[in-house]
A and B are shown apart, each in its own frame.
Chain A
Amino acid sequence: MTERRCTDPVILNQWHPLHPADQMEATRVTRTILLEEPLCHALDANGAPLVWPSAGSAPRLDGSQPSPLPARLAYGFLWACLGTPPDDLFPFPETAEPDRRNLATGTFGVHVSAGRAIENFLDMGHFPFVHTGILGEEPHTEVKEYDVEIASTRDEVLATRCRFYQPKAAASSTSGAEVEYIYRVPHINCAILYKSSPNDLERRDAIALFVQPVGPEQVIAHTFMSVLDNDSSDTGIRLFQQTIFGQDKPILENQFPRRLPLAPRAETPIRADKSSIAYRRWLSSKGLTYGVIPAVAE
């Protein structure tokens, strides 16, 4: 196997998101970094994805790329793997429903570990303080009891019955309401939240965060939505997401240590943090070492 800067097989053998598919053009080569490895990627003339280590060479697209990496297009993004990838990416069936809008809603560089970024995405308690007037508002600060489990059907963290008061829960909302959430963490660096759609009470909008680990303390966070909203413009939805992420970024970049600490005594959890505790334990059980501070056996 090729020598990699990152040596953690747990993270090397994953599919990682690299780029929104709708912003790729055939034969245009783009550079990025995954797990400290400089990569080039492109679509070939037939629209098939190609990813290869750039290793300082001029990017080319002439069929002579050295050692192309496993690559695929899914859920609005280009995905690649530096090791041996699993056969399948996690399921995200809502994206296949014909009446939904699937939209890449913005990509953000953040100086933080992937684990911290995912944990922030799972957290409701910060809504009134960080997303004031949008996803939360004082005095509605209570995080009510919710349920967290490792899903029985597949290896993912699942938080259900999450309820929170939101003054403006989506781009199309006009008034406040208690919103019910479901969170899934189907991949060590990807999370999906489902919340009651303001446009269809029976169904849920899905908002996803796919994190590309650039280094142990640096990520590119890709956001994605699969929504039942025919009114808001793409730009309107993206601006909303940009506002939200722009509020999270300065918090994430002031979190120390930047790597996610997995030792139980590293930080002080409260009941509202049940999902983050489950997520940290789940990462620990996988033996992940990259981008985290592993728990040392006491």
Chain B
Amino acid sequence: MLNAPFDLWFPIASSSDLAPRHVFHAQLFGQEYAAWRADDGYVNLWENRCLHRGVRLSIGINDGAELKCQYHGWRYANRTAGCTYIPAHPADAPARTICNNKFPVAEAHGMIWTRPDGRTDAPPPLLSEPLSDDAIVLRPLPVNAPSELAAEVLLTYRFHPEGDNSSAAVTASRVAPFTVSLTSEAGGHTARLTLFVQPVDLGRTIIRGWLSGVTTPAVPLLQAHDAGLQVLRDRCEALARALPRPEATAPVYPPVPAELADLPATARSGGAAALRVTVSRKWPVAQGVMAFELRPLRGILPTSQPGAHIDVTLPNGLVRQYSLVNAPGETAHWVIGVKRETPSGGGSACLHDVVREGDVLAVSAPRNNFPLRQDASMTTFIAGGIGLTPLLAMAQTLHHRGLPFALHAFAASPAHLAFADRIAALRPHSRTHFGRTPDETATDLKDLLAGYAPGRHVYICGPGPMLETARRIAADLGWPDAAVHFEYFKNTTPLDLSSTFEISLARSALTLTVPPGRSILDVLRDNGVEVPSSCGQGACGTCAVALLEGEALHQDVYLNAGDRRANHTILTCVSRAVSPCLVLDV
């Protein structure tokens, strides 16, 4: 094993190597990295290996917001490295924990830096040092020699501050194990050259550097250094040939997390990991609608997918669900839109009236119970009011990928249309419908849903009555259940909690009784069985479990008619039993 100083920062690329929409292959101590810059400027530095089947990500596609693996088209998000989409299973949300291995990264002085031990507690060396504005980055020079040898040879480098061949007073020293600092003085001019040796592996090195105190035109000066350093390279390689050739360093392939090793039965997203976020911005986006931009207190936010929501714990103790509006690659913050409900149950009023910019909120990791298929020949989004938010995230995703879609946003008036800027950016694929009566809305929906063909999908989110109408019209026009995707804000079904029945837990060999007034979820939790849940009213789908035997009394608004007929799934927070006993896959 290599005895490498992993607690140091090393330059591994020039900033200019990370050209727009390019993926750069870097290497340090035998470990390969895929380095890419997203359109928002963020530099990602990942292990150069897709966790699915090990294909180098440096041959992948940087689309500006995500990196797409060449082998199976898996998409990984800017900043988080989390997988956002697995094309082989378009109906599922990928498990949120599929995440490529990331490395610390810093960009400074025209170079990209990392630290092999993964720690970020100290900044790269020399970065705190002021560097004059005229500093220029040298062309990197690969050398077939160990870095220690290269550093020794670089101490003998001689150059003139203005790049000519006359003599100059040069001083040189090793200022750090992999850094050589040289100063050259002549004719009243002083130039300072800082050179770094990047150990690609034990026998190969890349020399990087920058030059400050430059007074003459840069290009001839760079040419002079190129020529001078190439002479040193030749000398270095001649010396290296006399040494025993070190073996190439074997890279380390860390194992994936244990929970990813097993084949998932079906995709489940969940996890109530509490995160702390700051309200970095709060602003009105429509009449009665406030947008909130949330940023992590430290580190980065977990990966989200279009359609995902988060639980927000409010200062008054209430927990509410809000969909993320984020576009692909928009990973530095989350954006939610909150409509003031009248009368408010205390959630939206608290966010509107109490929560301010700078406040800290506890939120859950994103859950995606409303996943977007990205394999449709045409996708129609029908949004009513604030039901726009998850559909906006979806439409922005398809727009970014250049896939066919149409977004129809219904609102009472232009003043009631939230995120109008984002909708406008989707033109001509977005359309607004203002001030439509229920009958007019139904007429519009009949137009929008006419002409079902296999490959078409529709996603609907909005107030309950509009959703019911849209679903009914879709069914009348021949849309199969599997092509109609919907999300309710809330469940207005009157709940019958009067029955008593048994639940038998197949995996834990436990039989429990659910009494009147208690939900299956309550009884599971009372007995120490942890099932994720979110909205608690049968709208979001987080608490769904597989139903193995027995007939359910479905009281949720999450499952579609086909799901209910199949009788394979039950939402444990509201649904109950018709038969005396339900066997659950828990």
Contacts and interface: CB of A to CB of B under 8 A. Distances in A.
Nearest to A273: B263
Nearest to A165: B375
A246 interface: no
Contacts of A267: 51-54, 256
A129 B98 CA distance: 20
B224 interface: no
B56 interface: yes
Contacts of B54: 255-257, 261, 267
A129 B375 contact: no
A251 to B, nearest CB: 5
B518 to A, nearest CB: 35
A141 B373 CA distance: 10
Contacts of A268: 51-52, 98, 256, 260-261
A143 B91 CA distance: 11
Interface residues of A, number: 33
Interface string A242-283: 000000001100111100010111111111111001000000
A128 interface: yes
Most chain B CB within 10 A, of A261, A267, A269, A274, is at A267
A151 B403 CA distance: 41
A129 B403 contact: no
Contacts of B313: none
B258 interface: yes
A125 interface: yes
Contacts of B98: 268
A33 interface: no
Contacts of B455: 139
Contacts of A274: 263
Interface in B252-298: 253, 255-258, 260-264
A119 B263 CA distance: 17
Contact of B263 (A128, A256, A270): A270
Interface in B84-111: 86-91, 98
B70 A251 contact: yes
In this complex, the interface size class of chain B, counting residues with CB under 8 Å from chain A, is: 35 or more
Interface in A215-264: 250-251, 254-257, 261, 263-264
Interface in A100-129: 119, 124-126, 128-129
Contacts of B87: 125, 128-129, 138, 141-142
A130 interface: yes
Nearest to B455: A139
B125 interface: no
Contacts of B376: 139
A266 B253 contact: yes
B374 interface: yes
B49 A256 contact: yes
Contacts of A254: 55-56, 59, 70
A140 interface: yes
B59 A125 contact: no
Interface in B18-77: 32, 48-49, 51-56, 59, 70-73
B47 to A, nearest CB: 10
Nearest to B83: A268
A129 B51 contact: no
Contacts of A266: 253, 255-256
Contacts of B59: 250, 254
A140 B376 CA distance: 8
Interface string A129-157: 11000000011111100000000000000
Q: Pick the 5 closest A-B CB pairs, nearest first.
A: A141-B87, A265-B255, A139-B375, A272-B88, A264-B261
10 contacts: A125-B88, A140-B375, A142-B90, A254-B56, A255-B56, A261-B54, A265-B255, A265-B257, A266-B253, A268-B260
